[in-house]
Chains A and B, each alone.
Chain A
Amino acid sequence: MLRARFRLLLASTTLTAALVSATQSQAQSSGTAGAGDTSPNRAGKLTKAPQLLNFKEVEAPYPPSERASEKSAEVVLQIAISDRGEVQEVVIVTTAGPSFDTAAIESAKRFKFTPAEIDGRAAPVKITFKYSFEFKDEIIDLGPQINYSGEVLDSTAPRKSPRPLPGITVTVFDVKTDDAGKKTRTKLAETETDDEGYFEFEGLPAGTYTVVVAGPAIASVETEETIQDKKGLEVKYKVEPKGAPDEDEITIEVIAPRIQKETTTVAIKTEEARRVPGTGGEALRVVQNLPGVARAAFGSGALVVWGAAPQDTRVYLDGARLPLLYHVGGFRATVNSDLVRAIELAPGGYGAEYGRGLGGLVTVDSRALKADGFHGYAAADLIDASALVETPLDGKTRIAVAARKSYLSQTLGVFTKEDVSELVPIPSFYDAQVKIERDLGENETLSLIALTSNDKLRRTVTNPDPAQTISDERTTVFHRLIGGYRRAFADGSSFTLTPSIGTDSFGYTQKFGSTPTEQQIDAVVFGLRAKWRGKVHPTVLMNVGVDIEGTQSKIRRRGAVVLPPREGDITVFGQPPNDVTNFDDWNVLLASVAPYAQADWELFGNKLHVVPGLRMDSFLVNGDKLYPTREGTEQRGYLRNENVLEPRLAIRYQASEKLSFKAAYGQYHQPPVAEDLSPVFGNPNLGFGRATHYLGGFTYRPIEKLSAEVTVFTSQSANLSARSPAPSPLVGEALTNTQDGRAYGGQILLRQELTAHFFGWVSYSLIRSERKDREGTPWRLFDYDQTHVATVVGSYELPFGFEVGARVRYATGFPRTPVQGAYYNSRRDLYEPYFGSQNSIRIPSFFQADARISKRFVWPKAKLEIYADVQNLTNRQNREDIVYNYDYSVKNYITGLPTLAVVGARLEW
């Protein structure tokens, strides 16, 4: 084991000549009027010099780009100060180079002075200011500091390409020996290495300690370290992997609300997420097991978050909206997990940076690409095959390419004689991503992501009865080009610009007998997100920006106005569709510009965070059809503008080291979807749905890595679109904004984060979601209501590279409307049901146990994992939906999959 020590280097910027006397300044100004003396009172006498008030708060750091030079520098500035003490202008008098000049100017612009007085009256003045930068190798007592830090590296990696080991636990023990010679070991602190293998401890008292470095992928090692008073210790631990460390870990984070990530998020690392049984090795699917998320109906992959409709929860990749998080069926994510740094699910109450959705928010962040050589993976299982390669192109540019292709329909065909696709549509999908990243400067990066996702579902059921011949084809294709520019400034602020453009294409073509149901949506989507984030005050962190999004949609639809069914439609599984038909094609532009501002205000010594935010969304709805097409009549379009203000507020209070409280409130608006703006099938005048979220809760961390989080919430929504209940609705009013919604409940998450051998969590959500279709009707259960959802996940690492895990899930069944009888429809030769009270019964509860076993093989330059993900261990026949016989006199259930093993292998290098 190699151990290195180093000196604590503190780059310090000091003010050596804070203020030249005002008299001098005045004299200097007076004498050098050509240099810009703008004092309005040249003849007066300076009676009070301006005093700098906030140097410490805005002090410029030593420029990182100059650290290697370790040189000292002085920048002489001329600062114009207003009669209120505000800095109006900063001019370089003596330069010290671009880095020092920029740092000095940025700092000086934020100076605050006491007003100068001339002849006893406040007056504007100019001063000369010398800003000195010194590189010091010194120790400054600034309170608790990081005094023990370092990296954990793979000792088998080439010396020139050090390989950091993330997720390694570093524990500091204080070992005491009593008089009898017996040693007692007390844990002082523990932490875990980050993506770069880095760890740090703050404020360790001086002394000699035993340090244990341990992790699932390495052999535990132990050493002694000595912390000296007022001195820092930095180390590098090189350890030999015994298993397969996840070098490209991502983080799955759940925030509720997103107030301050450090205390209100639950982070589940990729190495955990991939190992969660039932996910088939797809890290992003772990979201489906988190509290607040309903269990999706079999094969749907829909995200139902806090009782909101799936389409109300929006998904973003690096700030650009994606139409889908999962491929059809929910087996895989549309973005390769290995390109993702973090995914955050905010079930509600999120901040002003995002909007246009009434439900939850899923933000996916791509990771930085590796610069240390050629890496990648290849994986295959029963469902699909995928691969990723990444490499640096030069010292500043890196590229990664990933692709996935499913072959489930083919693999099923190999093992069954029956044409499975006639009975159950088997999804076929592929996706691909390319990411290029270039460093423009030390703190400036440019990136470009191109991605494509394609889903196809096809089924044809032939029947001697022409009315029973079914064909069903659905395609979902989207492409995105997402740019990213990020610059971090010396003062800690940052600017991010994310332009994006792409296309969406959603189509379904169904034919039930001679009854067609078709819809094709082709859209061009574009967006631009600009954000500045930085401190405007020592206690105030601002996040301001603008979020622009637009969708130009071209839509063609044919079929019954009541198809496909919407939320609130009373129907039963498998009911033949209505055979009335209509047709429309229309174009809609939905665009919105939303400036926003959000402040994170620290109070009471960082114990209390108050995060107010405000977002103004200005929507534009432009359609080409206000009325159904009529030969000989000129069509009229429409253009509407609607502005909404959305206040948001979040509060977090750190009551103690172990206990924190949180609360949030927010207003949200959602524009109508383009497919609802048809004058034939929908309503071109549909308004905006709106919702208000309230939530509160606390997090308790009794010991390191063990936490309990409790959140309660309520969401009130109104103006939701629903079918017109009128027997004869007006033209262009097949849909109306008459529906209200409400959801309320709570969730608990008890979680043990990854330790040496174990991780797991227990989550439980109690959520009630209801709808009121129009004024005067009673509240009813929402179609996606799932009152109880409980999940237990655990994984344990065994010797010799083996690991076993289990997951147990319980969920209330979705509501359904009981069939009370049926009449015979002679024209169509079928029975049609009549119903009881809407959503007054439920599908029986879901219960399932899954298990996962894996074996890892690790070589110096590669590792291989073989796993079996066994779903439904107990072979329980879970009921997924209710079906009836031909005349609705007998009820039965569609049941879920029996025991199913998804076997796969993954090779990484």
Chain B
Amino acid sequence: MASKKPVVAPSQTAIHWLMVTLTIIAIPHFFYQPVWVALIFLLMMSWRVMHSWRGWLLPADKRLLKVLHSISAVLTIVLVFYSYGVTIGRDAGVALLTTMAAFKIVEVKSLRDYYLSCFMGFFLVITHFFFNQSIPIVILMLVNVILLTSCLITANETDSSAKNRVKQASIMVLQATPLMLLLFVLFPRISGPIWGLPNDAMDIPDSLPDTMTLGEVPPRNSAISGMSDDITIGNISQLTQSDAIAFRVKFENNQFPDRQNLYWRGPVLWHTDGKRWLPLNEKQKKQDQVVQLHVTGKPTSYSITLEPHDRRWLFALDFPTTYPQTMQTQLTADGELNSREAIKQRVQYQLSSHHQYQFNPEMDGYLGYGLNLPDDRHPRSQRLARDLVEKSESSEAYIESVLDYFRQQNFSYSLTPPALRGDTIDQFLFETRQGFCEHYAASFTVLMRAAGIPARIVTGYQGGDINPVDQILTVRQRDAHAWTEVWLPNKGWIRIDPTATVSSNRVDFGIGDLLPAERRSPRAIANNDRLVEMWQSAKNNWDALNSAWDMWVVSYGPERQLDLLKKLGMQQPDWQKMISWLAIGIALIFSWIAWTTLRLKSASQDKSQRVYQQFCAKLARLDIVRQPHEGPEDFAHRAQQALPAYQQQIATISHLYLHLRYRGDAVEEAFFDSVKQFKPQL
């Protein structure tokens, strides 16, 4: 036998097939990446195309081209480094992988190169997940995997048609699905950067800021890196432009609280310079503060799937009483629920809240901050506060009179309020009187503090849409809201939403009703009620599908895994148990495969063949091993030479077997008996 295996080249069909597949895989990346990535990719592909079409030389054909090829590959790496500053991380890594896969394709000469290109293709498929985890992308990835598998098939089998190869690849991918599901469910999920997606994997959408600015906010596009954070962040009214999802809520037993109670707490703002509002700084937050919480009534339990917002806070229904177990969460003394790390991936947490509560009714360490107002600002507001205080007998009466002021003085709720300049609070309270929640919350807080009542602004979300299909409440960025909390002795912090006083619809029906019609359904069908209805129902179903996908697949993390395994009956699941179950599952799948293949094989062998195998096995014990390609007669001759004493027996057995198998006329029993009696010894 030849000692050296010949170098086998993949067929032209296989190479073309792979080129098409790689291009299909790479195209979505071109949208995220600089133009030169696409250019290099297409340049290399064209080179290979010209090789097939016009016989252009490839790098392997000429030394000069080989050097040129290597130099451009190195230059590309330098270019990646130059563009991104690094060669690892999501964007740089994907750019590198995309271009190198293209460089490899012109190098493909042997079957080994071909396989390498295919495997690079598989890696490239995975990287789609770094940019997008939606259902359409997963379908695209599945198609890519099937195409790559058919490339591997094509390299080994050129006879069958393209349709058959794709069909075979689909069957193979389908056969791999049980193993995939097993690994997905059981492979231990550990929260942490190594096990998750890269840190920059999620595109962080607009989200709730932790400052609030009244009046003009610089447009987002003008943000230049290096400028301070709070300038690049828009204020709440800008958020109403965004339909992006903030988080999804699944209530236990689908028991929804009243809309009036759907206040989702976020950052709490204390400090103001008259225009901007800021939270307590880290040092102030760290002060040891005692939190006193008295609750009455039944708690509401729910789980939240939070989209990444790159901040630490978690949203909770006012007011959270049990906190998520799986994250290292902590409730600050001003009622913010914070995670230890910034939320860079979609997370899920379970908690419960009470709607009736008293928060720090006796004492609160931050009361001093709740009274601060900038000196020499808002003179007209201060005067109004003094007037109203004189007329009121108690703090409660004062609060009521301020709310009456909002009701009676022709204030209105507007998503597009007039721009404020100068002293924003005074201008809003006495001139424009059109505003959004943040205007009302801010001016109400100023009026409270001016009267000596501790007050703070709570930002977060209010309301949300319940999808009738899956009973999941979706809270979007446009539901962003700001309200006020005032502290009254023996009552603690009380939530007062001045916006609700002015526009009760905002709270009763959610912001959806206040949005212009074209944001609710496409303009083209807006006039046809039936079409709008159908569109709504299709949208609900699609949203429900996406919610299920996000909650069960994309954010299937440690918590979901533990939860699911408990439901499946595993007691106290830990990673050791998961690994052992995984091993058992894989062993089961493989033994099933082995069993079916063996059964198929043995079914195709008739009994005479099995008995002949016994005969061969008997001789194999004496080191006379039959090669698979060795015919029975040749083997018999060899055995006879090795065992002259058994010449006659071996001749009889092989004669009977040959007649049985190739002539079909010998007596089976005679053959079986002679094999049984055959007991060779050296």
Q: Do A and B originate from a single complex?
A: no
